[in-house]
Amino acid sequence: MSEKIKFTIDGVEIEATAGQTIMQAADEAGIYIPRLCAHKDLLPFGSCRVCTVMVNDRPQAACTQPVSPGMNVESETEELRQIRVNLVEMLFVEGNHYCPFCEKSGNCELQALGYRLGMLAPKYPYMFNKHDIDASHPDIYIDHNRCILCARCIRSSKELDGKNVFQFVGRGIHKRVAFNSDTDLAATDVSVTDKAIENCPVGAILKKRTAYAVPIGKRKYDSQPIGSDIEALRAEVK
């Protein structure tokens, strides 16, 4: 079962286990591939495409593509950085992302990717669509303005919490996360300790009464780019 496979990412030879995805193998080798919908505790999903890499000159999602012997993967190229930053910029203009007052600012994966990929301002026109806020639950609130439709809450609830609190409704631009209740979030069996709450990469699902606890300068991505933890493994792997 544990057949070893060799392939390269940006010219670096990687040893992986058969059945792993490119992203899993890269993470173990200490090579960070940017991602938003992918999460180490969740099954591969492949919706955001931020982890797009070139595999033998064809674009593939690193989070879903299995490794195969001798494959030539490119990740840190200017072309791919441009694709990734375009995706991040589209998410910024589609939602209403007010970083200046968002509770998640400094710990937000979308924002951190903007920093890492060099986004100074999105090049696309802002949409300013109206989205709802649900603050019905005593411990949790949901701000759909900041939702990037990564489905981490949906998948975490099913795969990790053994519940089924969230689901997508609507298509295209009308797609949004809905709750498994006839009324609001408070009427579901969601709990503040659910992984579905913790695994939101942005400020869309937040715990009440926990805001701004960490001062500016000491938050997760204030001085270290996202992915630094994975890249720190590289020194050890070498």
Partner 1 sequence: MAKPKIATASLAGCFGCHMSLLDIDDRILKLVELVDFDKSPVDDIKKFTGRIAVGLIEGGCCNEENVHNLQYFRENCDILISLGECAIMGGIPAMRNTIPLKECLDEAYLNGPTVYNPTGKIPGDKELPLILDKVYPCHEVVKMDYHLPGCPPSADLIWQALVALLENKPMDLPYEVIKYD
221, 112 Cβ separation under 8 angstroms: yes
Considering beta carbons, is residue 7 or 92 the nearer one to partner 1? 92
Q: Between residues 149 and 165, which has the closer beta carbon with respect to partner 1?
A: 149
Q: How far apart are the first and last CA of the chain?
A: 25
Q: Which is nearer to partner 1, 138 or 225 (CB)?
A: 225
**Residue 12 or residue 119: which is nearer to partner 1 going by CB?**
119
Instruction: Go through 66-95 and write b for each residue having 16 or more CB atoms within 10 A of its CB, e for each that does not.
Output: bbeeebebbbeeeebeebbbbbbbebbbbb
Beta bridge partners of 16: 5
Smallest gap from Cβ 108 to partner 1, in A, equals 9
φ, ψ (nearest 5 deg) of residue 59: -70, 135
Residue 13 or 78: which CB sits closer to partner 1?
78
CB of 176 to partner 1, least distance (A): 14
- Torsion on CA atoms 106, 107, 111, 113, rounded to nearest 10: 120
Residues in contact with partner 1 by CB under 8 A are: 92, 96-102, 105-106, 111, 114-115, 120-122, 125-126, 128-131, 216, 222-223, 225
Shortest CB 143 distance to partner 1, Å? 12
Q: What is the Cα Rg of the chain in Å?
A: 19
Pairing of strands 133-134, 58-61: unpaired
Residue 168 or 212 having the CB closest to partner 1: 212
Q: Considering the complex, what minimum distance in angstroms separates the CB of residue 4 from partner 1?
A: 36
Least distance to partner 1 from the beta carbon of 231, Å?
13
SS3 labels along 78-137: HHHHHHHHHHHHHHHHHCCCCHHHCCCCCCCHHHHHHHHHCCCCCCCCCCCCCCCEECCC
> CA torsion 92→95→98→103, rounded to 10°?
-110
**Residue 218 C-beta: closest distance to partner 1, Å:** 12
